[in-house]
Structure 1
Amino acid sequence: MNYLEILSSPVFVALAPALCTALAAVLINRHRTKLVETELQNLKNQLLYRDKRIGELENSARDTNDSFAEQIANKSALVSTLNDVLAHSDAERATFYVPVQNADGNFLGLIVLATAPSDLSENLFIGTVFSGKDARAVESFFTNASVSSQNTSFKFDGFSPNSTYAECLQTSALSGSRSKVGVVQLLSSSTNGIDANQATKAIQSHRDKLVSLGQVFCGDNQSNIEKIGLKIPSTSRRGTVLSMDISNSSGLFIDEARSAVTMHLIQEVIGASSIEMAKLNGMFESYTGDGFLAAFVDDDNAQNECSADRAMNCALSIQRQFDRLMQDYRADLLHLKAELFLRFGLSTGVIHSIGFSFGQMRTTSILGRTASLAKIVCDLGPRDAASIIVDKATYLEFSNATRSKFVETVDPASKPTSENKRVPSYFYS
């Protein structure tokens, strides 16, 4: 059978359109594949060129005698490295923290040094200091272990992650020490979470560079942090804030006839409380009318209990003194038809001190998240019973024996609100 016969056969005529279509599809796919491969290679070349240029600029900045430019280059290198870590993991964002000390040389917390990708709102997040163990990065730093969690309340820049992975970085033992230089934290909004094994490998492949860059900004080199435009709150301290409130006392002042007894009682309560604070190295920070705020500061050089334990013991001691005073004032309070209770709230983290001086007025106080949370959890207590409530950061500071005396709660008064649902708290039972 010759070619003409083949081409004119009914079978070939029937199959020819399909064969032509299939051949055209193969040729088109080959062309598209070649275009995609060419485009991918161009993108790779652009990324390589970008990385090369960034490296050249960073090295150029380091070679100058300008120490500020050198540290900015180091931070840029840190951001580039975090981007590389993200490229090899299934996380969406990465954060790098380094430990910082206050003016007294005591551990203050972990400061956010760099984030990736670089579109984050640096003015809102970079430079923030985290100190409570409820933060995964801080937990990883204290335990010197990786922390993987599907539960995180970490939110910033409109980004609400569902999972986190944090790993503490140390110098090599070959260097003569095993000092902690920072923490890398990965975040993801995926419901599948972060693959811990993949995250570990991604960080491990860049560990040496991350450790090297972390050393530039921590320990004796902490002053370099301010060279990249970040301010360390060196006058702040890490510790526990104790908030105390005398429940039902404000109503006694409505009737002027009751004021004398109430003022005398509150004077005795505050006086006894100050004595108990002094015994446990606490500092009376501010008087709130029918209560106070006190601070118990961690001291790395001290051998005494941690700040959370001292604040808790102080609350228990004040409660015992208050019970004694209630017996002394029993007749007066019965006559006034008043029943008073103490409510305590404890929060652990960074404590910021502030001073005011206007004309003849001189006063100091504390502010910030830790002081605010202490007051919030204090207010969660019922008004018809004594209570001690702590936030999660304080709870995690306690030993297992102390933790066993607490029960997790949202609102011990069984009156949940939109506000206290956002504050994980523990009720002393």
Structure 2
Amino acid sequence: MLYPVKQLDWYHETLDSEHAERFVTVTVSNRSPFVSWFDEKDRGGVLYSMAKSTGIPFLNDLKTYFSDSKMEWNQGNIDEALYAGMFVSSVAGKNGRIHVAYQDSSMGKERLVYALYDGKIWKKETVDDAITSGINVGAYASISLVNNQPVIFYHTEQGQKFGYAKRVALGGPTSNEVGPRWEKKTLETGKGWTITSDSCKGKTYVSYRGRGNQALYFGLLDNLSWNERSLEASTSMWPALTTTSDCHPLLGYFDPKTSKIVIKDIDGNRDYDVADGSFSTISLSGKGNTLNAVYHVEGKGLFVAKSPDQGKTWESKLLAPGKYAGRYNAIATDPSGNIYIAYIDGHELKYAQYNTSAMETVKKLKTTSALVLFLLGLILIILNSKLKIKKAKVKLPARNATHSVAGGPARHRLLPEASAGGKSKKN
């Protein structure tokens, strides 16, 4: 054995020890986690941390496994406006792009803002504003991607409107404008609090509460077609929605009637209990049939849970103890099953990561190394055997042995063994 395959534990790090209080989001692009949060303590700005990455998953796994050093991060501001950053939401796109939506909550001048990281710089644009749509526009913003274009669901207090804005690509068929254009539509009224959304194969799934009540609703946006229905469930906290690889929507929420954290299979109309809760917020993410959740239990801390069967059965463990740990939390999972968690503990923004792929890579490397050594050994054995055979086929004559050569005197010479064609046949 060249090296032992160790069991990696959770990686923990504090990203900000001063500015966090509410609203945090996490997403991942090419194994590089991106965390963004609202600088509420100092009342100003959208902050972010983006992990440095080699861009090569294999090398990232080796670095994670063999290095005990802390992760390296690029940190900065997306927006330094005094009240920018409420309801921050993010999603990773193609080519390392990061899409972010948030509210600038300046009183009477509220805006819904979209920011794009194109791999080099941040670009921002106003999606909607109070002058156009009414006061407190952009509340509870939730962003998803459809055909790599952002769709943002949000609430506007004036008129109690719930709707979405969809970005149309430059030079799209519906516009002669040179710049980007947003198509906006109101879907419902009297609804649209605590919005959560996810997209899958061109469709966007969204769940939300009624305005000022705890009733939960579910909606599906398919191109321009909208369908909504009541889930006959309620929650006092922020729910979380994710989709499986086959576009199966699952909703996690805290049920105040039973004090349970529940996963609702929306298509199957079934509920599965995750754990006991207390004023619990939950975040969900999944890969294949595996579902990962992180949730806060008041007075106890932040828990992480895993289900191998799309939410039917769960195993939970305490990830971060503490009265306030994880009241605001977010989770992301990459295609390799690695888990990325960001959460707020008091005024500290903390980060946790679990790398399953690093262990799998090293196991494969170990197996490959053993195979290479075995093949090298086998080759050496074969070469050594052939060398012995070759030597055995050539024998020296006895000291007094002679061979008469026509036309000349007798002389000593080697006597080769008889073989067809005078050559040994190779295997």
The TM-score bracket by the shorter chain reads under 0.3
Looking at secondary structure, tell me which structure has more helix per residue: 1
User: TM-score normalised to the size of structure 2?
Assistant: 0.22
Looking at secondary structure, tell me which structure has more strand per residue: 2
